[in-house]
Amino acid sequence: MKIIMLGAPGAGKGTQAIRLAEELGLPHISTGDIFRYNIKNNTELGQKAKAYMDKGQLVPDELTVDLLLDRVAKEDCENGYILDGYPRTIPQAEVLDKALAEKNEKIDYAVNIAVPDENIINRMGGRRTCTNCGETYHIVYNAPKVEGICDRCGAPLIQREDDKPETVASRLNVYHEMTEPLENYYKESGVYVEVDGTQTMDEVFASILALLKD
């Protein structure tokens, strides 16, 4: 099964994508994580991507699309995958659809986690991210068992540069302008489903599972 997670930054799509990937035994593919890995290792791609990410802007499609297509061509993606953070623009979606169509394949679901802007601003200020596995927490709504430490892998948690308040507003603007049109794109192709992202994490997860047919 091939699933795309949609939603504003901070809607909880990363957390839900990781849970869904574990539940379905599919790889979790986050372009944001791939960029952050490259930044950590100081690669050329990492240096280029960082300049955009720190400002809350999208990394240009020409740096993103091939990276994603290479990743989904790997063997572990044979039975499907959960995409988290890709596509973020209509052209990115079109390129993926075209690559899939060439293999007679298609996206099965685009799951939108709908959360109003005012909730997003509140959530992102409290978000903390694992420096190792990328798992995300919230200091109030989804606190780790030990403050500042990842429950899954024990690595330290940080506030990502792009979760700092000055960057959040610009990420939301970019989301509305560039990414939200994907809702109609996937409605038109008949794979769009939506869950209420203001529910608890467990409720959101249960709502997503209930929407996926075998």
> If binding is defined by CB under 6 A, does position 128 make contact with ligand AMP?
no
Contacts of 86 (CB under 8 A, 6+ apart): 4, 29, 30, 31, 64, 68, 92, 96
Q: What angle do CA 194, 195, 199 make, to 5 degrees?
A: 160
Minimal distance, residue 59 CB to ligand AMP, in Å? 4
**The binder of ligand AMP chosen from 3, 8, 142, 162 (CB under 6 A):** 162
Minimal distance, residue 151 CB to ligand AMP, in Å? 19
Minimal distance, residue 139 CB to ligand AMP, in Å? 18
- Residues 69 and 42: their CA atoms lie apart, in Å, by 22
String of contacts with ligand AMP for each residue 17-56, x by CB under 6 A:
-------------xxx--x----------------xx---
Active site residue 152: no
Which of 154, 146, 150 is closest to 128 using CA atoms? 150
Q: What angle do CA 128, 62, 64 make, to 5 degrees?
A: 30
Active-site residue identified among 13, 19, 123, 128 = 13
> If binding is defined by CB under 6 A, does position 80 make contact with ligand AMP?
no
Q: Tokens for 67, please give them.
A: 């990276």
Active-site residue identified among 19, 36, 128, 160 = 160
